[in-house]
Copies of this chain bind each other. A is one copy, B any other.
C-alpha cells in the first residue's frame, strides 16, 4: 500500500504518517522506487496510534502502549498505570478549564457589550485577583 491509501484508511494525514516514521513509531518497508510500502500490520499500527492520539495520549505514551501491545506477555498493570495517569491529567485539565470558564462566563454576563466604554471584563483584568496558575 502507498501512503495515500494508508492515509485514507487510517484517517491520518500523510504528513503525520511520515512524521511517525521519522520518530520511529512505525517502520514501513520501501519499494524499489523509494516509495513507502505499508503492510497490513503498519496500517493496524497507524489505526492504533490514531485512536490513542484521539484519546489524548502523548506520543511517548503511544510508544509505550505500542510496545506493550506487541509484547503479548506484558502485564496489564503497566498499561493501566499509563492510562490512569493520563486520565488524571485530563481531569486536572478539565478542572482548570472549568475554573476559567466560570470566571469568564461571569465576566461576559456582566458586560453590557454595547457601545459604551465601560467594561467589567477589562476592569477585572486590570485589577482583579489572578487565579492560581500552579501546574497549568
A residues sitting closer than 8 Å to B (CB atoms) are 11, 44, 47-48, 50-52, 54-56, 65, 68-69, 72-77, 79-81, 83-84, 86-87, 90-91, 93-94, 97-98, 100-101, 103-105, 107-108, 111-119, 121-122, 124-126, 128, 130-131, 133, 136
Contact = CB atoms under 8 A, between A and B. Distances in A.
A52 B122 CA distance: 9
A129 B74 CA distance: 23
Looking at chain A's contact residues, the main secondary structure is helix
A101 B94 contact: yes
Contacts of A111: 76, 79-80, 83
A103 B55 contact: yes
